[in-house]
Amino acid sequence: MLEPRGELVLRTLAMPADTNPNGDIFGGWLLSQMDIAGGIAAKQRSHSRISTVAIESMSFHQPVNVGDVICCYAEIMHVGTTSMRIKLEVWITNMPFNQQRIKVTEGIFTFVAIDEDGRPQSVDRDE
Ligand SMILES: CCCCCCCCCCCCCCCC(=O)SCCNC(=O)CCNC(=O)[C@H](O)C(C)(C)COP(=O)(O)OP(=O)(O)OC[C@H]1O[C@@H](n2cnc3c(N)ncnc32)[C@H](O)[C@@H]1OP(=O)(O)O
């Protein structure tokens, strides 16, 4: 059975306010949760302020419904001089009805460590 890749960094509940006109959860809301999850992982890795600089290859595999518990997993794929490329996966569970986890969304986000003035600053590659 397929398993999530990376560390669980964020878990939250899809609410009625997050729906689109079809009644499913907005893709933009999911992307926002992934950005927050990636931001947490990047901050943990760099110990500094961070900023999202790029989002690539977002895929939405399955609709998400109100009441689904969404779990964001982060895996740091590459640490550059100031940037971190992070793979994010969102899996849902619909407890207590269904204990099975389903991957609904994935994407690759790049974050940059920044200083107090918002300028890129180096990340320790050896950590
Ligand atoms: C401890 C635990 C508790 C945690 C508890 C708190 C958690 C806290 C969580 C916060 C979670 C919120 C996370 C939301 C974060 C936002 O919402 S940020 C808001 C949206 N983003 C922005 O507004 C960014 C706007 N852009 C900028 O300010 C500037 O472009 C940046 C990001 C400072 C970079 O400056 P720049 O002059 O473009 O930098 P440059 O030197 O050219 O490139 C820097 C690096 O980025 C790379 N890069 C640049 N452009 C790209 C691109 N298009 N694609 C890929 N890489 C690129 C370069 O290759 C370079 O990489 P390195 O070779 O250094 O590794």
Alpha-helical regions (H) of 1-127 = 27-46
> What is the chain's mean pLDDT, rounded?
94
Q: Is 122 left (phi over 0), alpha (psi -120 to 50) or beta?
A: beta
- pLDDT of amino acid 98: 65
ipTM > 0.90, yes or no: yes
For residue 23, report the distance from its CA to the centre of ligand 1, in Å.
33
For residue 57, report the distance from its CA to the centre of ligand 1, in Å.
17
Architecture of domain 7-114: Roll (3.10)
- Kindly state the tokens that stand for 27: 């893709």
Per-residue confidence at 74, pLDDT binned at 50, 70, 90?
very high
Higher pLDDT: 23 or 125? It is: 23
| pLDDT tens figures, 36-57 | 999 999 999 999 999 999 999 8
Average pLDDT over residues 54-79: 96
Backbone angles phi, psi at 57, to 5 degrees: 45, 55
- pLDDT of amino acid 97: 64
Average pLDDT over residues 108-125: 96
* 38 and 52 Cβ atoms separated by less than 8 Å: yes
Single pTM value for the model: 0.95
- pLDDT of amino acid 93: 86
Domain ranges of the chain: 7-114
For residue 6, report the distance from its CA to the centre of ligand 1, in Å.
21
Give yes or no for residue 94 having a pLDDT over 80: no
Nearest 10 degrees: Cα torsion 124, 80, 83, 47:
-10
- pLDDT of amino acid 34: 98
- CA 68-90-111 angle, 5° bins: 135
Ligand 1 probe mutation, 51, 53, 109, most atoms within 8 A of CB: 53
